[in-house]
Amino acid sequence: MPTLSEEELRERFRQLRAQDDSHGPLRDELITEFTGLAAYFARRYDRRGVPREDLHQVAMLGLVNAVDRFDPEMETRFVSFAGRTIDGEIKRFFRDRTWSVRMPRRLQELHLRVRRASEELSHELGRPPTVKELATHVGVDTDEVLAALDAGNAYRADSLDRPAPGEEERRTELAATDADAPFAAIEHKSLVADLLSSLPDRERRILELRFVHEMSQTEIATEMGISQMHVSRLLRRTVEQLRERAHD
């Protein structure tokens, strides 16, 4: 577990940013301080056909990126910021390994275009764009935008977020016995809160119903007065937007 308090940690980052040598011992010290966090996220993706050593290297790359990019003056805690960065790095690693066999090239290219359009429009509008706005910006119809979003999310929203065989039992064991167990609490609290606050009320409510109250998509559709397909698309789109924002 980290040994520094939040204020001590921010002060270390201020010192690091003030130094001319951004690759000196202070940077190494901060990376070492949070190697347990990288290991925690790497273990979450065990049993998915990738050697543990490779996952650990990818997680460490995410940690290094987090140390290099963290701004100590922003409100987000470093642990929350680093957790999102590490998790995103691992998921990009899986996405890059699987797209070639899971997604047709046309959809892969369209998905990338839609993602870029989403980033541009979010910056211009000050909010996430609608599907119609994305379609107009990219020059395709709304069904194609939804297909691209669904295709791009298919692996990450299903395969990556679905527990691997035995993972739930392993998480329970970690919570009871592992020295890194406090990181699990961080993931479910600090890691998510900063991102959820940026969502529109409807999308935030749908996520709450799905992941806090564990309602099915059909039950959510009834509660919200929309179709189950619309709920599915909103969930996929919202998860995608949260992940994109996590990497900003």
Domain extents in the chain: 1-102
Axis crossing angle, helix 142-153 with helix 228-246, rounded to the nearest 10:
60
Q: Which residues contact 58 (CB under 8 A, 6 or more apart)?
A: 42, 89, 90, 93
Please write the tens of the pLDDT for every residue from 77-107. 898 889 888 988 888 887 766 554 455 677 7
pLDDT at 98: 57
Rounded-to-integer distance, Cα 233 and Cα 248, Å: 23
For 126-141, the DSSP string reads SSPPPHHHHHHHHTS-
**102 — phi, psi (to 5°)?**
-105, -20
The 10 Å Cβ neighbour count of residue 163 is: 12
The alpha carbon of 116 is separated from its chain's Cα centroid by a whole number of angstroms, namely: 17
pLDDT at 153: 53
Rounded-to-integer distance, Cα 234 and Cα 116, Å: 19
pLDDT at 182: 44
pLDDT at 59: 92
Q: What is the CATH number of domain 1-102?
A: 1.10.1740.10
H or E element, residue 188: helix 182-188
Please write the tens of the pLDDT for every residue from 112-131. 888 888 888 887 887 788 88
Residue 171 banded pLDDT, cuts 50, 70, 90: very low
pLDDT at 138: 92
